[in-house]
Chains A and B, each alone.
Chain A
């Protein structure tokens, strides 16, 4: 989903641009270092390949067909940094020459598809790309790449104040899942054919390491922002049981906390209260586990 100009509110496109610009500059610097290896022409031609590949339709059943989006395929062949740069170039050409996506909205589109989409597409491959679950990892990469991009685009529209009723959000989510499944299937099919032709084109999953922090941030943004928007308003099992037993009526608060009832009450908009609380919660949990991990590692190294 390429967002055109005129849709996003100023804070959203400025924030997306503020993330995308330095990220693209970072990827470009990494690519510049690799200039001697002849990867820059390769990246350009691979970008042209993704354009051309979109002309070839895949039958996906029920009289419909889909085409490759390419984020995950680029990530597993070129690596995540080069793939992000190629996707940025593709999005720029689409915005300028095909009127597909806006120029100011390019920051948001690059964040959704070239940064988060490519990282999400590479995540399963980086962990399970070399084992017996390789095909499943590539399928999951294709799925996650499209699903993450689409959900982020929808979340940005919602953050910009575009009114999206709950029913429409549900239908959109279902469509995103279908598109993501198609991308996963096409990515697996193309990668299998590529491996038959020349296995050397596939990037080894251990080669680039596992940029865990970037993946955790992408996952946190996705879960915190989108998950909270679609969160159920029904009470969970424990709350329901306590209500039925009458415990809830006798309970009282010892003190007020800033994130009580999973809401940041100091924020005005309803959606921002839950999203912010979700993100803070994820951050706290990550910090706790990071601390526990470091303590445990310290003890193990002392004992070893």
Chain B
């Protein structure tokens, strides 16, 4: 079952219709409010093989704006921000499904439409030689790197929209 449409935030926001890799879609609203990354923390989550969240630490709950019980069982793309081009995630699923580590700078969407930047790492959970799920850890990113990537992501997004 797909995620329900977001509620329109009180702050000024832009509306987008996102379509996810599982074929579902929903309307999201993004504001210009940035939530600062909590100093010294890591955001940790685990998913099953289908990207369904099975574990969320306290920092994840706080930063995402969702309650833990809302996150557990939800697809990880619940965090997908409309400013993120698909190509920025290129290789993510291929890499981790092949047993490799993936890194990337990601702008995440909060439940309330605000955003937060992270440096994300995803690794497969390999048990007895078999991948049984994935762990994702997000840490505070370099602001310099984000400032470099914002125009790059915007250009990629424009190219994706022009091609669709």
Are both chains from one complex? no
* Contacts from B to A (Cβ < 8 Å): none
Residues of A within 8 A of B (CB): none
